[in-house]
């Protein structure tokens, strides 16, 4: 039995993407990342709607932005790409797992970040890539 003090976060948990998924589908590692042209060893998720919105808005695809409510099916850890690099203490409640995430529901509507905010974030990420600083520890 898992001790309550060992649980990182009670959720609810979200995954922002542009992939069209169905209730009951599993998100699994070892698929091409939404953000880099390589397979990811982890599947990433968050317990904040704001971080999930960024995931959906910044995913590399022309498909519709989607946010799914998910259930982690195994252990997960703080996402070191966020917590170690930009937000110590994990205020974004960002996590990753090597176990699947089960799609429980899709949020029908949510308010996007403004086009200006999205453009600023994309410009910042492009600059990091150009500087060789857009490293993802996976």
**For the chain, what are the domain ranges?**
4-130
Whether the per-residue pLDDT at 63 is higher than 70: the answer is: yes
CA atoms of 24 and 38, how far apart (whole Å): 25
Whether the per-residue pLDDT at 73 is higher than 90: the answer is: yes
pLDDT given at position 9: 82
Whether the per-residue pLDDT at 121 is higher than 60: the answer is: yes
Of 3-12, 87-96, 113-122, least confident by mean pLDDT is 3-12
Architecture of domain 4-130: Alpha-Beta Barrel (3.20)
Whether the per-residue pLDDT at 26 is higher than 60: the answer is: yes
Alpha helix (H) residue ranges in the chain: 49-58, 80-83, 115-130
Whether the per-residue pLDDT at 82 is higher than 50: the answer is: yes
pTM equals 0.81
Q: Tokens for 121?
A: 């974030």
- 10 Å CB burial of residue 24 (0-12, 13-18, 19+) is exposed
Whether the per-residue pLDDT at 32 is higher than 90: the answer is: no
Mean pLDDT along residues 62-76: 94
Closest CA to 91 of 46, 125, 128: 46
pLDDT given at position 84: 57
* 26-27 β-sheet, strand order: 26-27, 101-106, 66-72, 13-17, 43-46, 94-97, 77-78
pLDDT given at position 62: 86
CA atoms of 51 and 65, how far apart (whole Å): 13
Q: How does residue 113 score in pLDDT terms, banded at 50, 70 and 90?
A: very high
Mean pLDDT of all residues belonging to the chain: 83
CA atoms of 29 and 42, how far apart (whole Å): 5
CB 42 within 8 A of CB 27: no
């Amino acid at each position: 039995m898992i001790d309550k003090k060992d649980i990182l976060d009670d959720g609810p948990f979200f995954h922002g993407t542009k992939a069209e998924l169905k209730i009951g589908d599993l998100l699994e590692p070892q698929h091409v990342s939404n953000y880099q042209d390589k397979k990811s060893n982890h599947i990433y998720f968050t317990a904040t709607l704001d971080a999930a919105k960024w995931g959906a808005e910044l995913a590399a695809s022309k498909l519709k932005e989607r946010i799914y409510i998910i259930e982690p099916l195994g252990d997960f850890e703080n996402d070191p790409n966020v917590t170690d690099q930009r937000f110590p203490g994990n205020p974004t409640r960002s996590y990753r797992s090597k176990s699947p995430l089960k799609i429980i529901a899709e949020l029908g509507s949510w308010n996007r970040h403004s086009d200006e905010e999205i453009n600023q974030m994309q410009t910042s990420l492009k600059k990091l890539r150009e500087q060789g600083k857009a490293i993802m520890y996976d």
